[in-house]
Structures are given as C-alpha cells and as structure tokens.
Amino acid sequence: MDFSYSPQEEGFRADLRAWLADALPSGWGETVFEPEDEDERAMFRLAWEKKLHAGGWSGINWPVEYGGRGATLVERAIFAEEMARVGAPEGLNIIGHNLAGSTILRHGTEAQKQYFLPRILSSDDVWCQGFSEPNAGSDLASVRTRAERRGDRFIVNGQKIWTSFAQYSQWCFALVRTDPDAPKHKGLSFLLIDMKSPGVSIRPLRQISGECEFNETFFDDVEVPVANIVGDINDGWRIAMTTLAYERGPEDALGRQIRFSQELDKLIGTVAATPRGDAMLIDDPIVRQKLARAVTQVEVMRLNAVRTFSKYLNGDDRGPDASVIKLYWSHAAQNMYEAAMDILGPTAPIAAPDPLSAGGGRFQLSYLQSKAFTIYSGSSEIQRNIIGERMLGLPR
C-alpha cells in the first residue's frame, strides 16, 4: 500500500497545474462563476470541455491511438484532484466520455472506435443514454423500444426516459428490443443513434429541483445503419452491463466525490462564519458531530473509489464493486445534504438569491438534486440485489 507519488506522477501534476492556471478565467470561483441559466451553463461547460481537449487533457486515460494520452489510473486520480483544487467546471459530455466512449473502447468495432472516439474526446459529439423507459425502470431488461431490421437499417420505434442532456446531444446509445420473441434479456441490442435522424424528438422532463437535466426521447420510425450496433445482435444486455459498470464505477464516483467534498468544505466554511447567539454555529457540539460524520463519509467515498481503482490496477476485473461504490456515495451524499439542511438551522429553507441564504443558497438546490442520487444509475434496491446476488452469492 502506497499513497505517495512517483516523480513522473508529480511531473504530470505540475504540468496540469500550470495549464489550469492559464486556462481558467481570472477570478474563477471567487468573482467569476458558471452562468445561472441552464442553457448558458451547458454551453459554458461544453466550451470548457473543448478547451481541455485543445490542451490535451481530454480522455487522458484512453489509448493514444484514439486520441487519449494513455494516462495511468494514478494520473487519472491526480487529474481529478487538481481539477478539484481549482474548482474547475464540470463537463457537458460526461456520458460521452465515461459511458459511450468506455463501452465502444471495450466492445466496439475498429471502425466505430476510429469514428466515434476522437469525436467524443473533442466533444464534437455530445452523447446521451437511452436505457430507461416508462415501464422499464428497475426492470431494465423489459425495454419495449423496438428495432426491426430492414436490409442495412434498423427501424427504431419507442420511447426512452431520463435521457440526460438529450437536448445538447448529437448521439444516443440505446438499448432496444430486436427479438420480441426471445426471453427478455436475450432479445436486446445496443444501438448508436444519431440524434439528428428524422423521427427523433425530445421533450424536457423537469425534475424535483426545477431543472430540466432530463428528457423523454421518442423514436418514430428512426433509421439506424446496422453498422451502428455495438456487439452482436441480441447481445445488447451484456454490452449494457459494461456501460452500467462504468456508470457506477470509481471514475464516476471520484468525479462526484470531488464536488461533494467542495460543497462540504463550503458548508464548513459557512457554518464557521455563521453567528449563533453569542458564539458561532461551528461551536455547537451537535453540529460538529454531524459535520464530522459528513467529513468521514465524503472521505470514505474517495477512499472507496481509490481502493477500487487499485484493484483494477492490480489486475482485478470490474465486477459488482461498482454497485458498492454507487450505493455508498449516493446515500452518503444524501446524508450530507440532509445534514446540511439540518445544520443550517432556521434559515436552511432560504435559497439563492436571497441575501439571507446560507452559503449563497447552493445547498438547497443540491439537497433537492440529491434525492435523485439513489434512484438514477440503478436504484438502491437494484444495487442491493446485485450486491446480494452477484457479490455475496445469495439466491435470487
């Protein structure tokens, strides 16, 4: 066990730190922030992703031949740390990088890799995910969106839901039914669908926080070239499981952990600066217990991710440990935001832009958003089934 860094790794860190100092707007995080408007913010994030790509910092762990720089897992962790240190913006094309790219790298044809991967890295193609349907939530294998083969085309009809950022996406990877007569896990295929295809339409779906990150996406006689299937026909379930392992895995968790850690730091700073009677709120022993518990759980999120990274580094396969990671971070983060709303006391409900909102009103929005954490990317109930059955070997 060794948490120290080699000279090469420290060099990587120094390069990145120097680049970031140049690339971020002056006053970033202090006087300069992301736009408030959802659409403007999306475009800001896209621009930042393109800047990262131009600087050579996009998809750093991908093979050099597909535009990556073959970075090690450790460099990837350093990258995450440094992005956190400066509070860098999030990206818009997270699904492209983490899910579409990773899945195509693992299961795609050479032609698919050559075409799609560089365009993902450059964020010329933003991606969304077409898995869930209104009647296929936890029971994902019961998807009904159909793809019928006609010559060199699939004709896709159906409806997907929770397609995050579909409104900004050029491409969608979707799980579709190609054999309605087969058992439900055996008749699915994994298609890459151009969002500009005729017959694709989207409808925004507002979420609990009032934001419209999600959409319903409708496919009405959409033509998809057969070349855009990943893996074999009717082998889509296996491919989708790979995608989900990435969605729930340590790369995703580490990125999230950094944001949670920043918010927690902001919370502690806010509490330390909040008067309560003759003292400060931070002096309240009950508040301190709650904060310390959040500090611990957010740190454990990081350690869980790094520990799983290390397993991969040491040659282990990706397995149900992704469910462990996802189940942990989702509940720990919910606990943290629930604790934040507790700790902030009477003014907890006051949100931005009210001058009385604690910590600039960021916790209220995050609190509402956090309610989705234990539902999307596979609900906690599904993760517990996976852990119970695949990791612990309990009977179905």
Partner 1 sequence: MNFGFNEEQKSLGETVAALLADFPALTGPDPAQARDPAVWRALADLGLFALLVPEAQGGVGLTLVDVALAIEALGAGLAPPIAASTLIATDIIAREGTAAQRETLLPRIATGDVRIALAVMEDGQGYDPAQVRTMMGGNGVTGVKILVPDADIADMILVVARVDDRVGLVMLSRDARGVAIRHHADIDPSSGLCEVTLNGAAVMDGALIGHAGSGDVISRLMDAAAIVYAGMAMGIAARMLDASVDYAKTRVQFGQPIGAFQSIKHRCADMAVAVEAGRSAAYYAFWTAAENDPDRSRAASMAKAYCGEIARDVCNETVQIHGGMGFTWELGLHRFLRRAKVMEHGFGNHVWHYERIMAQTLAARAVVADARAA
Residues 377 to 396: which contact partner 1 by CB under 8 A?
379-381, 383-385, 387-389, 391-396
- Is there binding between residue 132 and partner 1 (CB under 8 A)? yes
Q: Distances from the Cα of 320 to the Cαs of 217, 244, 394, in angstroms?
A: 29, 10, 13
**Shortest Cβ 64–partner 1 spacing (Å):** 22
- Residues 278-282: contacts with CB within 8 Å, 24+ apart? 281/343, 281/345
- Is there binding between residue 375 and partner 1 (CB under 8 A)? yes
Q: Which of 167, 217, 364, 366 binds partner 1 (CB under 8 A)?
A: 364
Contact track, partner 1, 2-21, x by CB under 8 A = xxxx---x------------
Q: Which is nearer to a second copy, 192 or 287 (CB)?
A: 287
Helices (DSSP H) in 24-167: which residue ranges? Answer: 38-54, 73-85, 94-95, 102-107, 110-121
Q: What DSSP line would sit under 278-330, residue for residue?
A: TEEGGG-HHHHHHHHHHHHHHHHHHHHHHHHHHHHHTTPPP-THHHHHHHHHH
**Shortest Cβ 5–partner 1 spacing (Å):** 6
Residues 269-288 touching a second copy, rule: CB under 8 A, are: 284-286
In the chain, the largest separation of any two C-alpha atoms, in whole Å, equals: 78
Q: Is 148 a catalytic residue?
A: no
Residues 145-184 touching partner 1, rule: CB under 8 A, are: 161-162
Stretch that binds partner 1, among 16-24, 166-174, 241-249, 333-341 (CB under 8 A): 333-341
CA torsion, ordered 26, 32, 36, 37, to nearest 10 deg: -30
- Is there binding between residue 300 and partner 1 (CB under 8 A)? yes
At which residue do the structure tokens 């009103």 appear? 361
Cis omega (within 30 of 0) on the bond before 353? yes
Instruction: Kindly state the helix (H) or strand (E) to which residue 172 belongs, with its residue range.
Output: strand 171-177
- Is there binding between residue 311 and partner 1 (CB under 8 A)? yes
How many C-beta atoms lie closer than 10 Å to residue 27's C-beta? 9
Q: Which of 208, 220, 232, 273 binds partner 1 (CB under 8 A)?
A: 208
Stretch that binds partner 1, among 15-23, 105-113, 189-197, 274-282 (CB under 8 A): 274-282
The two three-digit tokens of residue 329, written as one number: 């971070």
Q: 376 burial class (0-12, 13-18, 19+ CB within 10 angstroms)?
A: middle
- Is there binding between residue 313 and partner 1 (CB under 8 A)? yes
Residues 285-314 touching a second copy, rule: CB under 8 A, are: 285-286, 289
304 binds, options partner 1, a second copy, none, Cβ within 5 to 8 A by partner type: partner 1
**Closest by Cα among 292, 378, 282 to 335:** 292
Q: Which is nearer to a second copy, 290 or 362 (CB)?
A: 290
Q: Which is nearer to a second copy, 111 or 286 (CB)?
A: 286
Cα–Cα distance, 281 to 290 (Å, whole number): 12
Cα–Cα distance, 170 to 248 (Å, whole number): 23
Task: Write down the catalytic residue from 82, 133, 213, 247.
Answer: 247
Instruction: Kindly state the helix (H) or strand (E) to which residue 253 belongs, with its residue range.
Output: helix 250-272
**Shortest Cβ 286–a second copy spacing (Å):** 6
Contact track, partner 1, 67-106, x by CB under 8 A = -------x--x-----------------------------
Stretch that binds partner 1, among 173-181, 218-226, 255-263, 369-377 (CB under 8 A): 369-377
Residues 218-247 touching partner 1, rule: CB under 8 A, are: none
Q: Which of 291, 322, 336, 339 binds partner 1 (CB under 8 A)?
A: 291
**Shortest Cβ 284–a second copy spacing (Å):** 8
Residues 26-65 touching partner 1, rule: CB under 8 A, are: none
Cα–Cα distance, 53 to 123 (Å, whole number): 8
The residues of the shown chain that bind a second copy, judged by CB under 8 A, are: 284-286, 289
Q: Which residues are catalytic?
A: 247
